[in-house]
Structure 1
């Protein structure tokens, strides 16, 4: 092992991978930030053109699609990313993905009336029918998207997703102006998926190839089936609350809640997803279990700082954020946004843990955690909504995450040899420093004055009272992350 580390330090193989990972992460972060801003601008335009009730009708269809997307992907993309023989598996995976996508589409189409009735939103039936086109196309994107991801071609993926965003914006806004209502957003999703389907195959230079090898299918499904179930449960965790809010409150309240949840997902969308697409192949390619586990520990500190900063800002400035971006008619969404912002920040770290376990082949462990999470979240959400309304819905996520999900993932990490105590130590300082920063931001957010000014002052407070004090510590952690060989050598010396 010592010789192997010496070879890597001499530059034989590690710099190549480090360069690819670094470039991939850089493009991934930039693209997700750009796409997040683009989606934000689109959501602002839509929020100012449609009423909360119309947005609630679309939210029903979006909720169902998010659930079906987990089934349509079925974990097959992750299997290709970590596979040693992706080209040989691709035709079988393409066939499985296309078949599962068609089944999901037909299920959404046939079940549209009953689904709308379950949400007590009969006006959502037509929107659900339109959206049923999306999963059929999504199943055909699995192979080219996985090939680009495993090659760290985040620049190409950015171009694909940007094209989809532009298509969605043009179609959605055009149809809204023509008076199409909630179905405008559904057709925008269809247009986006169609453009991305074509662009993925063009950019990846991948001609669709279908085939079926029983042995490869069994191998892929044995890995991906637990992951697909875990993905389904994961999406249920962030969508079944929509059903609860809709049934316990109103469709208008659902529109407010979905908007708040979308805002609270900015940390996950801007940072978590960017890290995930690079972390999965990076962890999977790591040859040594010791290096892989140490890599997870090194990632936690810097990621905790970024996620906490975003969570503190959104939670403490919830009211001015909603008012400035979406208008006064959406200000009631701030009640849900406070708790949801804390949950959104925690999702970034929880998703990193799940990605690590998937790369380590522990898909069943991820599934078990997700099932426990869902089983405790549903009653907590019902209680929270009934007693505290939209605010209770947001904080229910936080309580379950801290009391149930964190301990469950800690147990899963221990079983694969990760030093959970070291992860805990890496999170202590970012969380402690966040307390005074949150108090300052909270005071700013509740002061009298124009909302835009309060938002600017709150953002400055996050920088001055959190990011600035944390920068020296974060810089040291980033140096350790960029130079992992010293840590690995230290581990080997300690073991010797």
Structure 2
């Protein structure tokens, strides 16, 4: 085994460890902030902010334009950096201006005229975002997830301080928007300090053409992906109103805990990791080996959130948010699925199949919109949550299986890798649901449910999970032929 192979494996392992730890800590911090803000603002005020957040999330994804991913997988990142920085600033600036000018009609589309000013404030954050693309990509390439954790943690603290201060002065939903702006300012400054760099701009037409050829399908796929995660907000707002949207947004944020803690940690390591595996067969096997341990953690978090939705919301956010539990049950299952779907999408991006990712996202969107309307009309917020699950299982998973097969992945082995966690989840979910239906103090029910999840799922599955994790580490470090991590030669 070569020194370079060992060094790369160690960097990936260290990066994944920091990424997982950082995402868990940041997620706990976000939960603490959301609990604080839930005590300071009402559901209808959160609904007003949700309108602006929906637009910001979609445009923010488009502002990134896939440029960071292009730098992460490039063989000559420093030569490309000035051009990428210019493209990023131009893109984010144009989108921010458009968001500002369209604030009034966008608010009207959501039937929430109160959100106009909040949308305008959030546009500032979009404008600043373009400056973060290049330094963030540098840290991701070098697997410096510890540094990213510190930077994002500083942004979270700044955001919390601004939001809490303004909320106590009756600024209302705009306090959340100014918190997002503060977060973005601190993150941009922190990234440049961490990389000891300052913005450098330039324009090489050849680099720009090559970058746009890779980024355009990826940007559109990301746009559709975030639209998928946001179109439900539009539908809920139009069908049920801002107050119900506030409940739904809180439920969706809680359901995103598996993705925030596990999925994002995997993504920032998987993209450079898969990109740097030169051998196609080895890269495909690495994906299959990654699925099992990731699925086990995602299933544990998803089943716990889904079966204990009622007491969880009551304990963390208070009784006035109890209506969010109806949506959380289905959304939590979807949150676990998102971890694996995002892993597949990251793999396809790493191998350059951005067109395939875009095609799946478009198919997903086409199926989800009518399903959401039907779910809301028939079952209210609960129908909205379970609509995500139905479409993910019936449409998205088969579509991604086809894409993986075309990339040469053994899809049978890929699907079998998640069988054990899913089978173990059935009795555990039944037991947790039984506990979750108890009448009694919510804290007691929640504590008992978590204990049952630990006893019926986590502990019995722990030896299996550790073997899968050991196999993954051994495959990366002790089998140099299939998984030698070397830089790809320029194409």
Q: Which range, TM-score by smaller chain? A: over 0.9
**2:279 match:** 288
**2:21 match:** 30
Offset of residue 474 of structure 1? 1.0
User: Residue deviations 1:115-153, cap 9 Å, x none?
Assistant: 000000000001001111011100111000000100001
Indicate whether 1:168 and 2:159 are aligned: yes
> Taking structure 2 as the reference length, what is the TM-score of the superposition?
0.97
Could you tell me how far apart the structure 2 residues matched to 1:488 and 1:401 are?
Answer: 36
**1:189 match:** 180
Indicate whether 1:433 and 2:421 are aligned: no
CA contact (8 A) 1:65 1:135 kept: yes
User: Residue deviations 1:378-399, cap 9 Å, x none?
Assistant: 0000110111100000000000
**2:489 match:** none
Could you tell me how far apart the structure 2 residues matched to 1:472 and 1:28 are?
Answer: 23
User: Residue deviations 1:394-441, cap 9 Å, x none?
Assistant: 000000000000000000000010001001111111101100000000
Indicate whether 1:94 and 2:85 are aligned: yes
- Decide which of 313, 319, 323 is 1:322's aligned counterpart: 313
Could you tell me how far apart the structure 2 residues matched to 1:81 and 1:488 are?
Answer: 23
**1:364 match:** 355
- Decide which of 459, 463, 466 is 1:472's aligned counterpart: 463
SS in 1 for 2:291: helix
**1:273 match:** 264
Could you tell me how far apart the structure 2 residues matched to 1:488 and 1:388 are?
Answer: 53
**Distance verdict in 2 for CA 1:408–1:488, change over 3 Å:** farther
Could you tell me how far apart the structure 2 residues matched to 1:309 and 1:433 are?
Answer: 10
**1:376 match:** 367
CA contact (8 A) 1:291 1:488 kept: no
CA contact (8 A) 1:373 1:404 kept: yes
Offset of residue 250 of structure 1? 1.1
**1:158 match:** 149
**2:382 match:** 391
Could you tell me how far apart the structure 1 residues matched to 2:137 and 2:437 are?
Answer: 46
RMSD, aligned α-carbons? 1.2
CA contact (8 A) 2:5 2:480 kept: no
- Decide which of 297, 307, 317 is 1:306's aligned counterpart: 297
User: Residue deviations 1:421-479, cap 9 Å, x none?
Assistant: 00111111110110000000000000121110111111111111001111121111111
Give 1:61-100 correspondences, 5 Å limit: 61-100=52-91
Could you tell me how far apart the structure 2 residues matched to 1:25 and 1:17 are?
Answer: 12
- Decide which of 117, 126, 133 is 1:126's aligned counterpart: 117
- Structure 2, unpaired ranges of 5+: 484-491
Offset of residue 311 of structure 1? 0.4
Offset of residue 169 of structure 1? 0.5
- Decide which of 334, 341, 361 is 1:350's aligned counterpart: 341
Offset of residue 12 of structure 1? 2.8
CA contact (8 A) 2:279 2:482 kept: no
**2:406 match:** 415
**1:58 match:** 49
> Taking structure 1 as the reference length, what is the TM-score of the superposition?
0.96
Give 1:159-238 correspondences, 5 Å limit: 159-238=150-229
Could you tell me how far apart the structure 2 residues matched to 1:288 and 1:255 are?
Answer: 48
Offset of residue 489 of structure 1? 6.1
SS in 1 for 2:159: helix
